[in-house]
Structure 1
Amino acid sequence: MARIISLEDVLKDQIKEINQLEMVTSFIQNKEELKDSLIQAQNDIEDLSIGVLGLKKDLEKMKEHNVSQRKLMALYQQLDDRIIHMTNNFPESLTQQLDRQEEKLNPIIKEKTPNSYKKPLAIVTNSDLTKCEPIITGDSIVKDCRKMLFKDPEDSYIIKELSDSEFSKIPKYMIGRQTLSTVNAFITTINQIMKFKYGILALGKVGARKKGELNLYLEFKKEESDLKAANQEGEIYFFNADDYERETNSKLDKTKLNLLTVLRHCKRIHEIRLGKNVKYRVITS
């Protein structure tokens, strides 16, 4: 019996064939683009293959390095065991002999403390003698020049606190809401910074090395040389933002910079700019 094909089935078959023909036609029309895409894909696969081979080689090298490291660790362990064995079995007679030889070669020398350096005496001029403090002895008045003759270098870089009269003359726009006690507390902090800095410099290179502050000493000396090279005359005592941060573990913020402006106004410090570096020189009397 013959199979009856409906019109709908015929149309479906025709549509299917048309779709296949369209696909084949599209392939034929875009065969060059498809060819280029396939070539590009092939090149990418080859590049990936080369990369994988490179990774395999690197992995092999890492494995070899790992093996050599393990061998080296084993040798270190053997050496450590031998050293421990030699230490535990070192003859006591040889130990005593070595101690005696060391005492002969290195006599015991009393180590000087870091603060054992001699402070330099100040050079006193005739004008300085007028600054000696008067002492009343009976009916006569003599001048005490001990402080002038044996002047401590610390007296040169210590900033004097502001008095009430000095504080009252500071412009309101400059001081803002800061009080006299706040300004003087800031001066005390600066004095501590200066004392530490010039205490390190007073040790000298040898003393700074013994104290473990050689790098800091060399840094301070370089800063001094830079200032002298900038034609800063006379005895120079100064500090900068790094010194402040090192001593206080805090930076010079806007408030502290305003206080420095106040100290400049009151003739306590002088600002020196060397390029981007700012240093604050203490004005010595």
Structure 2
Amino acid sequence: MTNPVDQDLRVPAGREGGRDGGRDPQAERRLWLRRYHPSPDPAARLVCLPHSGGAAPYFRALSEALSPAVEAVAVQYPGRQDRRTEPLVGDLGELATRLAEVLDDLLTDEPGPFALFGHSMGALLAFEVARRLEQDGREVAGLFVSGMRAPSAQRNEWLHLAEDAELLREVRGLGGTEARLLEDEEIVRAALPVIRSDTRAVETYHYRAASGAGADLRCPVIALTGTEDPRVTPVEAGTWRDHTSGGFELHAFPGDHFYLNAFTAALGRLMRARLTGGPDE
């Protein structure tokens, strides 16, 4: 696997604003990005990255909660739903580099404040995308990370090598809508390759600190966690503070790994306040 920090984290050179002669930036944006509540003049944009096995529509309710002040841009990973004919990407570094290119193009055409929000696998991916964009000179307004241990607090896990039954048992144990859907055998057959590939991406990810004495990021980091989440302890969530020279906040909500299903409105208020400079509502 290509370690994301064994290479230059910047968007590859040779592009003006991320463009080159072999890519169609607008076509790629249509593949990767979804806007469920477009805003003509948002104060900021929030790029939302789904969890393992997840997809862009998961953020439809949050998009509504943020609109119109903050425009949510949900990411659709390859290999699922309307991108199911494309190969899955089981390497977090590759996924981060490809997504950073798409966002670099978007920000060239639509400049303005933007932040990143990732849940579970999406949190690690958002972190690596933010690193690449900052190294390429982009200013990230904030990084919201949910339901995931800090990069420096990862555990050695090999669930992606487990039998189907064990993998499904673990996913069901996390709660959320996915646990109920996975009672349907047809859905299980479609979802298992996606879940296994995403789990591989997380479990084979290896964090390497930024070179020199500097922090990985300059932007503020806001860590979000469920008090009963079996995948991350409060201490592990708190170590996100070690990855930025910007501000840090830790917010805990009652609930399990998918606590955010019950706190969409509260998350929307918190994110709007941080991205628009307004008071906490």
Short-chain TM bin: under 0.3
Taking CA–CA contacts closer than 8 Å with sequence separation of 6 or more, which of the two structures ends up with the larger relative contact order? 2
Higher helix share: 1
TM-score (norm 2): 0.20
Higher strand share: 2
